[in-house]
A and B are shown apart, each in its own frame.
Chain A
Amino acid sequence: MPHSHHPIEILRFNTCGSVDDGKSTLIGRLLYDSKNLMEDQLEALERSADITGAGAINLANLTDGLRAEREQGITIDVAYRYFATPRRKFIVADTPGHVQYTRNMVTGASTANLSIVLVDARNGVIEQSRRHTYLAALLGIPHLVIAVNKMDLVDWNEERFLEIRDQIEAFLPRLDVFKDVKFIPISALNGDNVVERSKHTPWYEGPTLLGHLETVHIASDWNLSAFRLPVQWVNRPNNPRDAAWHDFRGLSGQIAGGIVKVGQKVMVLPSGTKSTVKEIWTYDGSPQEAFCPQSVTLVLEHDLDVSRGDTIIGLENLPGMSADLHAKICWMHQRPLQRDRKYFLKHTTQTVQAIVTDIENRINISTFDPEPEPDELAVNDIGEIRLRASRPVVFDGYAANRLTGSFILIEQGTNLTVAAGMLQPPTELVKPEYNDFAI
Chain B
Amino acid sequence: MNSYQLDHLQLLESESIHVVREVAAEFERPALLFSGGKDSICLLRLAEKAFRPADLPLPLLNVDTGHHFPELNEFRDRRARQLGARLIVRKVEDAMERFFSFRDSFGQWDTKYQRPEIWNRYNARVNAG
Residues of A within 8 A of B (CB): 1-3, 6-10, 70, 74-80, 89, 103-104, 106-107, 110-111, 219-220, 224, 232-233, 235-242, 245, 248, 250, 252-254, 259, 281-284, 291, 293-295, 308, 332, 344, 346-349, 351, 402-403, 406-408, 410, 414-417, 420
Contact = CB atoms under 8 A, between A and B. Distances in A.
A416 B116 CA distance: 9
Contact of B118 (A237, A241, A420): A420
B50 A252 contact: yes
B73 interface: no
Interface string B1-30: 111111110111111011001101100000
A2 B3 contact: yes
22 contacts: A8-B8, A10-B12, A74-B96, A75-B114, A77-B114, A107-B117, A110-B119, A219-B2, A219-B4, A219-B5, A224-B2, A232-B21, A235-B53, A240-B55, A245-B54, A284-B49, A294-B14, A295-B49, A346-B123, A347-B121, A415-B126, A415-B127
Contact of A414 (B5, B18, B127): B127
B6 A406 contact: no
The 5 closest A-B pairs by CB, nearest first: A2-B3, A7-B7, A74-B111, A295-B17, A415-B125
Given A283-B48, A293-B11, 7 more contacts: A6-B1, A75-B114, A252-B21, A252-B50, A254-B18, A293-B6, A415-B126
Contacts, number: 157
A237 to B, nearest CB: 4
Given A219-B5, A282-B49, A295-B18, A417 B97 contact: no
A408 B4 contact: no
A415 B96 CA distance: 20
Interface in B102-126: 111-121, 123, 125-126
B68 interface: no
Contact of B54 (A111, A236, A254, A408): A236
Contacts of A111: 119-120
| Interface of chain B: mostly helix, strand, loop or mixed | loop
A410 B8 contact: no
A107 B18 CA distance: 19
B118 to A, nearest CB: 4
Nearest to B52: A283
Given A3-B7, A77-B114, A415 B53 contact: no
Contacts of A241: 55, 84
Contacts of A232: 18, 21-22, 25
A349 B122 CA distance: 9
A407 B125 contact: no
Contact of A295 (B4, B7, B50, B97): B50
Interface string B81-115: 00010000000000011000000000000011111
